[in-house]
Amino acid sequence: MTEANFIRHCDHTMCDLGRFVYECPKCMDIVADFEIWWLEDEIYRGRTYEFECINCHEKLNVSYNRDEFEYQININV
Protein backbone atom coordinates (compact mmCIF):
# COMPACT_ATOMS: atom_id res chain seq x y z
CA MET A 1 0.00 0.00 0.00
CA THR A 2 1.25 3.47 -0.84
CA GLU A 3 -0.06 7.00 -0.48
CA ALA A 4 -1.36 8.98 -3.45
CA ASN A 5 -2.18 12.66 -3.94
CA PHE A 6 -4.47 14.78 -6.05
CA ILE A 7 -2.52 17.88 -7.07
CA ARG A 8 -4.24 20.94 -8.49
CA HIS A 9 -2.89 22.50 -11.67
CA CYS A 10 -2.78 25.97 -10.10
CA ASP A 11 -4.13 27.92 -7.16
CA HIS A 12 -6.70 29.76 -9.24
CA THR A 13 -10.16 28.86 -7.91
CA MET A 14 -11.64 28.67 -11.41
CA CYS A 15 -9.11 26.05 -12.57
CA ASP A 16 -10.55 22.51 -12.60
CA LEU A 17 -7.38 20.83 -13.88
CA GLY A 18 -4.88 18.73 -11.98
CA ARG A 19 -3.18 15.38 -11.75
CA PHE A 20 -3.21 12.27 -9.61
CA VAL A 21 0.31 11.34 -8.42
CA TYR A 22 1.23 8.00 -6.87
CA GLU A 23 4.10 5.60 -6.41
CA CYS A 24 3.21 2.28 -7.98
CA PRO A 25 3.55 -0.49 -5.36
CA LYS A 26 4.77 -2.90 -8.07
CA CYS A 27 7.29 -0.97 -10.22
CA MET A 28 7.97 1.77 -7.60
CA ASP A 29 7.81 4.51 -10.28
CA ILE A 30 6.28 7.87 -9.48
CA VAL A 31 3.36 8.25 -11.88
CA ALA A 32 1.22 11.26 -12.78
CA ASP A 33 -2.18 10.22 -14.09
CA PHE A 34 -4.52 12.84 -15.53
CA GLU A 35 -7.62 10.66 -16.04
CA ILE A 36 -8.11 9.71 -12.37
CA TRP A 37 -8.08 13.42 -11.47
CA TRP A 38 -11.75 13.62 -12.48
CA LEU A 39 -12.72 10.90 -9.96
CA GLU A 40 -11.40 12.63 -6.82
CA ASP A 41 -14.85 13.41 -5.36
CA GLU A 42 -16.19 9.89 -5.96
CA ILE A 43 -13.11 8.28 -4.39
CA TYR A 44 -13.24 10.66 -1.42
CA ARG A 45 -16.89 9.69 -0.85
CA GLY A 46 -15.96 6.00 -0.58
CA ARG A 47 -15.74 4.55 -4.08
CA THR A 48 -12.77 2.27 -4.75
CA TYR A 49 -11.56 2.78 -8.28
CA GLU A 50 -9.70 0.11 -10.26
CA PHE A 51 -7.10 1.21 -12.80
CA GLU A 52 -3.82 0.17 -14.40
CA CYS A 53 -0.34 1.59 -13.78
CA ILE A 54 0.70 3.56 -16.85
CA ASN A 55 4.28 2.23 -16.60
CA CYS A 56 4.07 -1.46 -15.66
CA HIS A 57 0.37 -2.15 -16.37
CA GLU A 58 -0.23 -3.70 -12.93
CA LYS A 59 -3.88 -3.68 -11.87
CA LEU A 60 -4.28 -1.23 -8.96
CA ASN A 61 -7.00 0.12 -6.68
CA VAL A 62 -7.25 3.62 -5.25
CA SER A 63 -9.41 4.44 -2.25
CA TYR A 64 -9.66 7.05 0.47
CA ASN A 65 -8.71 5.92 3.99
CA ARG A 66 -10.76 8.03 6.41
CA ASP A 67 -8.74 6.86 9.43
CA GLU A 68 -5.45 8.03 7.90
CA PHE A 69 -6.96 10.97 5.95
CA GLU A 70 -5.19 9.91 2.75
CA TYR A 71 -5.70 8.36 -0.66
CA GLN A 72 -4.09 4.93 -0.92
CA ILE A 73 -3.00 2.66 -3.76
CA ASN A 74 -3.10 -1.14 -3.47
CA ILE A 75 -2.35 -3.92 -5.92
CA ASN A 76 -5.69 -5.34 -7.11
CA VAL A 77 -5.82 -8.89 -5.83
Instruction: For residue range 7-66, list pLDDT tens digits in order.
Output: 877 766 676 778 899 999 999 999 998 888 889 899 999 999 999 998 999 999 999 999
Q: What angle do CA 67, 70, 71 make, to 5 degrees?
A: 120
Task: Answer whether 51's CB lies under 8 Å from 60's CB.
Answer: yes
pLDDT at 12: 66
**Integer Cα distance of 38 and 65 in angstroms:** 18
How many domains are contained in the chain? 1
* The pLDDT value given to residue 10: 78
Q: What is the pLDDT of residue 62?
A: 94
pLDDT for residue 44: 93
Q: Give CA–CA dist 64/15, Å, rounded.
A: 23
pLDDT attached to residue 3: 84
Task: List the domain range (segments joined by +) for residue 63.
Answer: 2-75
